[in-house]
């Protein structure tokens, strides 16, 4: 009896810890299941919320698309209405074009008939005109020579009239200049030129106007200005200033290498002083002849002095 009790007590002591362990394990498993379930619920809840948010966005976009679609639909209706009106207008224009084409065809046919008739008339007129032209050509051949002759005579008369008028002004120029230089030594009239001895204007071997030379050129400038105002603008005139030297050769070591250069420089000095006194350079020309246009052929001092000269000539350009 006692032995049995001890065995029972020992078996009770051995079962309880195992039971506790099993129960703990069950509780842990249950707890793990609960935790996993809750975690899955939370994850699913989050996914559902995200999906719901996406759905809301999609629904919002869908509403916008629907709104745009309705707007485009209304525009399409308006365009369809406009297209209908345009089709009506096009149909009306096509009818008008058909009428115009018909009218144009009729007018073209009439015009062609009139053109044919006019062509016949033109051909007849051309034939008549040809006959008239042939007659005129024959007449023109005879009169063309007369017209050319008349034109030549007319041109010659114009030139002669200009020359006569210019000669009148040149005569006046000579008269006034002759009054100024009258009885002055070293000044002569040779043909249509006034000849001044170079010594009146320049020192030996120089192209610089002397005081007396400047005075002479200034008097000449006054006459030129007075006559120039009277000469009409259609008469082209010039005062030609020619420089001449004697036949004595220049050494070439000085300022001028030859008589040619000296004569040209003296003529240019006179022209420059005339311009300074108010004469237009458009009416002046300077020329240098050196010793190659002598008026005295001898070799005496008197002949050499005569060849050293400045000549003035009022001429038509």
CATH of the domain at 224: 3.30.1330.60
Position 69 scores a pLDDT of 74
Q: Cβ-count burial of 296 within 10 angstroms (0-12 exposed, 13-18 middle, 19+ buried)? A: middle
Please tell me which residue, 47 or 203, carries the higher pLDDT value. 203
Position 167 scores a pLDDT of 62
Provide the phi-psi class of 90: left if phi over 0, else alpha when psi is between -120 and 50, else beta. alpha
Indicate the pLDDT class of residue 267, thresholds 50, 70 and 90: very high
Mean pLDDT of 13-32: 73
Last residue of a domain, one of 167, 196, 230: 167
Tell me the C-alpha distance between 150 and 206, whole Å. 55
In terms of domains, do 74 and 119 share one? yes
Is 22 inside a domain boundary? no
Tell me the C-alpha distance between 275 and 299, whole Å. 36
Residue 289 has pLDDT above 70, yes or no: yes
- Asked whether 200 and 215 are in contact (CB, 8 A), the reply is no
- Asked whether 133 and 126 are in contact (CB, 8 A), the reply is no
Is 40 inside a domain boundary? no
Is 8 inside a domain boundary? no
In terms of domains, do 194 and 152 share one? no
187-238 residue pLDDT tens: 777 777 888 899 999 998 899 999 999 998 998 899 888 888 888 887 788 8
Q: Which residues contact 293 (CB under 8 A, 6 or more apart)?
A: 242, 244
- Asked whether 308 and 199 are in contact (CB, 8 A), the reply is yes
In terms of domains, do 189 and 143 share one? no
In terms of domains, do 202 and 303 share one? yes
In terms of domains, do 203 and 277 share one? yes
Is 225 inside a domain boundary? yes
Whole domain around residue 210: which residue ranges? 183-316
- Asked whether 236 and 316 are in contact (CB, 8 A), the reply is yes
In terms of domains, do 160 and 187 share one? no
Indicate the pLDDT class of residue 292, thresholds 50, 70 and 90: very high
Position 1 scores a pLDDT of 46
The two structure tokens encoding residue 162: 């200009």
In terms of domains, do 110 and 148 share one? yes
Last residue of a domain, one of 134, 167, 200: 167
Mean pLDDT of 274-287: 95
Tell me the C-alpha distance between 209 and 201, whole Å. 5
Ranked by mean pLDDT, the top range of 25-39, 58-72, 87-101, 228-242 is: 228-242
User: How much is the CA Rg of the chain, to the nearest whole Å?
Assistant: 64
Q: How many domains does the chain have?
A: 2
In terms of domains, do 225 and 149 share one? no
Is 264 inside a domain boundary? yes
Position 27 scores a pLDDT of 78
pTM, two decimals, is 0.50
Q: Which residues contact 303 (CB under 8 A, 6 or more apart)?
A: 294, 296, 297
In terms of domains, do 221 and 300 share one? yes
In terms of domains, do 192 and 307 share one? yes
In terms of domains, do 205 and 110 share one? no
Position 88 scores a pLDDT of 83
Is 35 inside a domain boundary? no
The partner residues of 284 in beta bridges, in order of sequence, read 239
Is 45 inside a domain boundary? no
Is 269 inside a domain boundary? yes
Last residue of a domain, one of 143, 167, 191: 167
Position 3 scores a pLDDT of 44
Find the range with the poorest average confidence among 49-63, 155-169, 295-309: 155-169
In terms of domains, do 189 and 158 share one? no
Ranked by mean pLDDT, the top range of 12-16, 212-216, 217-221, 241-245 is: 241-245
């Amino acid at each position: 009896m006692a032995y049995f009790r001890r065995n029972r007590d020992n078996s009770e002591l051995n079962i309880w810890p195992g039971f506790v362990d099993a129960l703990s394990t069950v509780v842990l498993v249950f707890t793990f299941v609960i935790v996993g379930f809750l975690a899955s619920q939370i994850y699913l809840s989050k996914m559902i919320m995200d999906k719901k948010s996406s759905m809301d966005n999609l629904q919002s976009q869908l509403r916008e698309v629907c709104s745009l679609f309705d707007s485009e639909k209304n525009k399409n209706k308006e365009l369809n209405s406009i297209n209908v009106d345009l089709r009506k207008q096009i149909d009306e224009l096509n009818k008008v074009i058909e009428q115009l084409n018909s009218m144009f065809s009729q007018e073209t046919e009439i015009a062609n008939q009139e053109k044919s008739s006019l062509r016949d008339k033109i051909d007849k007129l051309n034939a008549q005109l040809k006959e008239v032209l042939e007659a005129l050509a024959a007449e023109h051949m005879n009169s063309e020579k007369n017209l050319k002759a008349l034109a030549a005579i007319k041109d010659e008369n114009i030139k002669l009239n200009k020359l006569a008028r210019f000669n009148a002004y040149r005569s006046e120029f000579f008269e006034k200049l002759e009054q100024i230089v009258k009885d002055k030594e070293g000044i002569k009239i040779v043909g249509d030129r006034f000849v001044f001895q170079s010594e009146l204007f320049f020192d030996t071997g120089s192209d610089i106007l002397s005081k007396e030379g400047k005075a002479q050129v200034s008097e000449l400038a006054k006459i030129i200005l007075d006559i120039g105002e009277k000469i009409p603008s259609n008469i082209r005139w010039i005062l030609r200033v020619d420089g001449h030297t004697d036949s004595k050769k220049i050494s070439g070591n000085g300022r001028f290498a030859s008589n040619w250069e000296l004569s040209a420089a003296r003529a240019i000095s006179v022209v420059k002083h005339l311009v300074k006194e108010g004469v237009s350079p458009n009416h002046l020309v300077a020329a240098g002849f050196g010793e190659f246009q002598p008026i005295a052929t001898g070799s005496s001092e008197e002949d050499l002095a005569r060849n050293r000269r400045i000549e003035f000539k009022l001429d038509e350009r």
